Amino acid sequence: MRIEGKRYRDEWLPNFYPSRELAPDRWLRISRTGKTVVLSAAEDRQISEIYMDAPLYERLERTGHILTPANATRVFQELKLWQLRTAYRRDHGEVQLGVHLLPYEPSATGVQRR
């Protein structure tokens, strides 16, 4: 049975890190691509419950904090771009440091991991 106006846990996957309290009744959530959203304590608790209010679901879907069928392509593209921007790079023989995730070598056919 579904309740109108609620979105259930089986409709989305998390794409965020644990929240941190900013102030009384204000919690910060950071997505895996670095986007932030400030939630009330009640909204933050809903993320761990069986369902959440539809407006909260839509807000988190829009910011990419949750992965849904409607935003999956965009969120995966954002994750790919984030990983490429923060990876260890070698361009023109010079080493450029970022957050080291996966080394890669540029090639004519795309990214090749070593």
53-74: per-residue pLDDT in tens?
Answer: 999 999 999 999 999 999 999 9
Are residue 31 and residue 14 in the same domain, yes or no? yes
Residue 105, domain extent: 76-113
Task: Determine the longest span between alpha carbons in the chain, in angstroms.
Answer: 60
Question: Is residue 1 in some structural domain?
Answer: no
The H-assigned helical ranges of the chain are 41-46, 54-63, 72-86
Are residue 92 and residue 66 in the same domain, yes or no? no
5-29: per-residue pLDDT in tens?
Answer: 999 989 999 999 999 999 999 999 9
This model's pTM is above 0.85: no
One-letter amino acid identity for 104? Y
C-alpha to C-alpha distance for 30 and 37, rounded to whole angstroms: 7
Are residue 64 and residue 13 in the same domain, yes or no? yes
Are residue 40 and residue 65 in the same domain, yes or no? yes
Confidence of residue 49 (pLDDT cuts 50, 70, 90): very high
